[in-house]
């Protein structure tokens, strides 16, 4: 994709010195040189915001003391930011996103979108009313292989879907690290900042979004058991979830942050009447395809007949691993391209909108709340809508 003619500018809320994910987002955006950071409220600490802004080469005048001040001030500038990136703890997402939407600024927000489905609906409606783009950074959908799986399912290459199996095991909370100085663990296991759920909210929502994106299946109802395995925790660190989709397809999800030996083991298996497709996030450049009466195959990004749309997200030749930065950069490439087109008065195509939208974020919020509701009532089946 060519460089943006006018230069798309963005601001960031969160992501100051000492934060992890903000720097990941900035580096991913920088891969395509399509947008430049121009403003920020990087921390509740004024000193941290100023120091981060200096490090990033931002005019001190545009290093703001609060997101409210930032939204109001940027909206009045002739050179205002085109979009804001929200990388703060979960409890602030709604207020920050609403402030910038009201200021007429496109929004990118980390997941989960917010705590409550009513709040999520308000953001969806507000973005639509103001004709603003809203992206929720479900980063794994940016992998070319994931987009290839989506195309294969759409074209019926494994026939009518029968069953979905997805898992996401991690090890990092297998011990009570939140009782020490682990900043990420402290806020993620605190209901005031994380919300009703930890494991389902943090990584389970990735499964919900990934399956929805790959297959187009919509959840009809679910039955969830959320476990608090490490003694003393008030939020879940492990969960088992049975799913029934519209149309009669069933599924089973497992998410865990106490699975010793696993780093970031997101894996999806999609079973159809003619075959099976499997993809794993730790080997993201490959798809395993098994069809009845045929040898099992491993398809490689960049060489094995990927469809044009999926292949357009491939950056380097096959055999050179593309990873998380590139996947997130692919989401930004599409989103920033759409922002640029709108700025120039152009009409957006379906391909221009191939990024996780606010409606997907709302589905994630509903998924979290329904899992908690099911588990709190004894792991009963609950309707999704």
pLDDT in tens, 126-178: 999 999 999 999 999 999 999 999 999 999 999 999 999 999 999 999 999 99
As a whole number, the mean pLDDT across the chain is 96
The per-residue pLDDT for 290 is 98
Give the chain's length.
385
b/e per residue 337-352 (b: at least 16 CB within 10 A): bbbbbbeeeeeeeeeb
- Average pLDDT on 267-272 reads 98
Long-range CB contact pairs, 236-239, < 8 A, 24+: 236/197, 236/198, 236/199, 236/200, 236/375, 237/173, 237/198, 237/199, 238/199, 239/199, 239/200, 239/204, 239/371, 239/375
Q: Are strands 381-383 and 219-227 parallel, antiparallel or unpaired?
A: antiparallel
The per-residue pLDDT for 3 is 40
> Which pTM does this prediction carry?
0.95
Largest CA distance in the chain: 66
**Whole-angstrom distance, CA of residue 359 vs CA of residue 368:** 14
Q: How many CB atoms lie within 10 A of CB 175?
A: 14
Q: What is the pLDDT of residues 297-332, one digit of tens each?
A: 999 998 878 999 999 999 999 999 999 999 999 999
Look at residue 6 and tell me whether its pLDDT is greater than 60: no
Look at residue 1 and tell me whether its pLDDT is greater than 70: no
Sign of the torsion formed by the C-alpha atoms of 215, 255, 249 and 137: negative
pLDDT-derived band at 2 (thresholds 50, 70, 90) equals very low
The per-residue pLDDT for 266 is 98
**Whole-angstrom distance, CA of residue 216 vs CA of residue 210:** 10
Please tell me the class of the 8-132 domain: alpha beta
Hey, which residues does 271 pair with through a beta bridge? 163, 276
Q: What is the pLDDT of residues 244-254, one digit of tens each?
A: 999 999 999 99
Long-range CB contact pairs, 174-181, < 8 A, 24+: 174/230, 174/257, 174/258, 174/259, 174/260, 175/230, 176/230, 176/231, 176/232, 176/233, 178/233
Phi and psi for 44 in degrees, rounded to 5?
-70, -20
Domains of the chain, residue spans = 8-132, 144-314+364-383
Q: Which H/E stretch holds residue 281?
A: none
The CATH architecture that domain 144-314+364-383 belongs to is 2-Layer Sandwich (3.30)
The least confident of 4-13, 124-133, 219-228 is: 4-13
Look at residue 223 and tell me whether its pLDDT is greater than 70: yes
CA distance readout (Å), 134 to 84, 175, 219, 355, 359: 10, 36, 23, 9, 9
Token couple for 163 = 């069953």
């Amino acid at each position: 994709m060519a460089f943006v003619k006018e230069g798309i500018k963005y601001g960031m809320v969160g992501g100051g010195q000492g934060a992890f994910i903000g720097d990941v987002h900035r580096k991913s955006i920088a891969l395509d040189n399509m947008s430049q950071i121009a403003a920020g409220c990087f921390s509740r600490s004024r000193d941290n915001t100023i120091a981060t802004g200096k490090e990033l080469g931002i005019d001190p005048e545009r290093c703001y003391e609060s997101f409210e001040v930032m939204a109001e001030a940027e909206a009045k500038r002739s050179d205002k930011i085109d979009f804001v990136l929200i990388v703060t703890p979960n409890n602030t997402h709604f207020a920050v996103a609403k402030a910038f939407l009201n200021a007429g600024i496109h929004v990118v927000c980390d997941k989960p979108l917010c705590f409550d489905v009513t709040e999520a609906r308000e953001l969806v409606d507000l973005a639509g009313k103001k004709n603003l783009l809203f992206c929720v950074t479900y980063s794994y959908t940016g992998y070319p292989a994931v987009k290839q799986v989506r195309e294969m399912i759409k074209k019926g290459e494994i026939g009518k879907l029968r069953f979905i199996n997805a898992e996401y095991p991690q090890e990092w909370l297998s011990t009570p690290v939140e009782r020490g100085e682990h900043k990420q663990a402290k806020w993620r296991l605190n209901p005031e900042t994380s919300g009703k759920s930890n494991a389902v909210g943090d990584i389970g929502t990735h499964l919900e979004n990934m399956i929805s994106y790959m297959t187009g299946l919509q959840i009809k109802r679910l039955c969830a058991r959320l476990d608090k395995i490490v003694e003393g925790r008030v939020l879940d660190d492990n969960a088992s979830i049975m799913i029934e989709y519209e149309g009669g397809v069933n599924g089973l999800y497992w998410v865990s942050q106490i699975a010793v030996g696993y780093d970031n083991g997101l894996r999806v298996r999609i079973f159809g009447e003619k075959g099976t497709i499997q993809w794993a996030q730790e080997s993201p450049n490959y798809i395993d395809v098994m069809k009845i009466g045929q040898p099992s195959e491993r398809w490689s990004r960049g060489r094995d007949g990927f469809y044009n749309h999926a292949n357009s997200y491939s950056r380097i030749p096959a055999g050179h691993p593309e990873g998380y930065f590139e996947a997130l950069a692919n989401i930004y490439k599409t989103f920033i391209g759409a922002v640029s087109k709108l700025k120039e008065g152009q009409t957006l195509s379906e391909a221009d909108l191939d990024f996780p939208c606010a409606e997907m974020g709302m589905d994630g919020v509903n998924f979290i709340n329904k899992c908690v509701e099911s588990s709190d009532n004894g792991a009963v089946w609950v309707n999704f809508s």
